[in-house]
Structure 1
Amino acid sequence: MSAEMGARRFGRMNWLGLYTLIWREVMRFATVWSQTILAPLVTAALFIAIFSLAIGAKRGDVMGVPFVHFIAPGILMMTVIQNAFANTSSSLVISKVQGNIVDTLMPPLSPLELVVGYMAGGISRGILVALCTMVVIFPFIGLGVAHPLWALVFVILGAGFLGLVGVVAGIIAQKFDQIAAITNFIVTPLSFLSGTFYSIEGLPNWLYVVSHVNPVFYLIDGLRYSVLGVSDSSPVLGLAVAGGATIAIAFVAWAMFRSGYRLKS
């Protein structure tokens, strides 16, 4: 019996096409590893070194742990989410500027497969950056990982969430200046003002409330629990909030690919 009209001959999921898209995204950042992996590692090391030398000895313990240990998970998550965002947003904008976005849109890939493919590329870069940071930096400051499975979950969730934000930003943006503006005025403030360098318990009441509706706060706090065993909020709550935000932004990205918004015009 012949296939139904409009049915794809390779089934409900184009696994080969999805694998190819993911592999392309991974190789895209792997070929310039000195910029995509080494540079974030150096940046994270500089953050920890500067705060350790300038503030560490004077600050005292935070939530019962040394200040340098307290900020390390926040810096790690900040590095992960910034690189996941950069991976997906730059991939889309470069394709649009160079005029080869059609090479991604023409193959028989559904909107869902496009979303998963780009997100997987961002997650791959985020995991690799996190792994390198943990292996290279954590031993030098005498830090281990209290809950490895939780750490893996929050790194994947953080990279996935900001990777999807990068997909949406890359679709909206028409040039590199617009992506730079989104990075400078949205992604970076979210990274710095979500408990990376401080406990939100000391914030004014209004800012304390605002922090609790920010998904990035839960990502940083969840990874802090994973590494140190202490946190400002429950990791289960963080998982629920960050997971819900990830699903929501994934739906937005899917709708954009499905409609061809700023991609086919």
Structure 2
Amino acid sequence: MQNLMDQGARRFGAVNWMGLYTLAQRETLRFMAVWTQTLLAPLATAGLFLLIFNIAIGPSRSDVMGVSFLTFLAPGIMMMTVIQNAFANTSSSIIIAKVQGNIVDTLMPPLSALEILLGYLAGGVTRGVLIAFVVATALAIVLGIVPQNPLIALIFVILGGAFMGALGLFAGIYANKFDQMAAITNFIVTPLAFLSGTFYSVEALPPALNYLSHVNPVFYLIDGLRYGMIGVSDSSPWLGMVVCSGATLLVGTGAWQMLRTGYRLKA
């Protein structure tokens, strides 16, 4: 009886650090077990994007914001890779567990909704940070791009992983089938990543599109990382931190509410 009372206190009161660590470790080991797909494949994708744009557009494109087009493009590709993989990490973990029917293995242990949320986010953020490190190392070796403001770059990578990890958790809970998840990825996540200044400066857009870009949190993620990597940006990185932190808190709160109520998780 005392053991059950202790578990209850850890479940609803104090943080269950052991359970939180175990869930975070599971989510990290899950993608590390296939590191060639989860770490090397994104590096290859980022390299292909840079190569294709350099061949197709680079020679005829003038400098952007005082730097070469390839240098301007690199941080955008880097952040796009980070957020797509952070989203994939949490969303795939939830949807696979739901489809296979083993989501109960996560819901039954003495873990609060916040602890479950943080455990999943730890996996998504870790994957995003590792991918950022791999891509940044390649950029330094191949293009000679060294972060101008490493701390700011790291902060935006963590914010990007947290925001898209929370969005992935939200989407994974909402979707009941893989085709629903594919629709969310194709019609929400991909446009957010591509239409946010990844390949261009938003200052070159018409006023209406420029305004819409500034409503998109992913724009601030890409713009903030660009400032951290090469020292130029379309907006203030401090404003970007505020917007991205607020967006992460908002989406994370929605995912927490879903976990707390068991929305689409409990039969």
Any unmatched runs of 5+ in structure 2? none
Alignment of 1:202-221 (within 5 A): 202-221=204-223
The match for 1:255 among 254, 257, 267 is: 257
Between the aligned partners of 1:5 and 1:115, the Cα distance in structure 2 is 19
Between the aligned partners of 1:187 and 1:217, the Cα distance in structure 2 is 13
Between the aligned partners of 1:105 and 1:145, the Cα distance in structure 2 is 41
The amino acid of 1:190's aligned partner reads L
- Label 1:41 to 1:5 Cα distance change in 2 as closer, same or farther (>3 A): closer
Any unmatched runs of 5+ in structure 1? none
Q: Normalising by structure 2, what TM-score?
A: 0.96
- Label 1:193 to 1:262 Cα distance change in 2 as closer, same or farther (>3 A): same
Once the 2 structures are TM-superposed, how far is the Cα of residue 50 of structure 1 from its aligned partner? 0.8
Once the 2 structures are TM-superposed, how far is the Cα of residue 95 of structure 1 from its aligned partner? 0.3
Q: Deviations over 1:77-110 (max 9, x none)?
A: 0000000000000000000011000000000000
| Equivalent residues of 1:45, 1:137 under 8 A apart | no
Aligned equivalent of 2:109: 107
Aligned equivalent of 1:170: 172
Between the aligned partners of 1:229 and 1:141, the Cα distance in structure 2 is 16
SS of 1:168's equivalent?
A: helix
Aligned equivalent of 2:137: 135
Once the 2 structures are TM-superposed, how far is the Cα of residue 54 of structure 1 from its aligned partner? 1.3
Aligned equivalent of 2:60: 58
SS of 1:220's equivalent?
A: helix
Between the aligned partners of 1:11 and 1:250, the Cα distance in structure 2 is 20
Aligned equivalent of 1:188: 190
Work out the number of aligned pairs and report it: 264
Aligned equivalent of 2:234: 232
Alignment of 1:27-106 (within 5 A): 27-106=29-108
What is the alpha-carbon root mean square deviation over aligned residues? 1.5
Q: Normalising by structure 1, what TM-score?
A: 0.97
Once the 2 structures are TM-superposed, how far is the Cα of residue 8 of structure 1 from its aligned partner? 3.0
The amino acid of 1:72's aligned partner reads A
Aligned equivalent of 2:17: 15
| Equivalent residues of 2:11, 2:112 under 8 A apart | no
- Label 1:253 to 1:38 Cα distance change in 2 as closer, same or farther (>3 A): same
Between the aligned partners of 1:83 and 1:8, the Cα distance in structure 2 is 32
SS of 2:74's equivalent?
A: helix
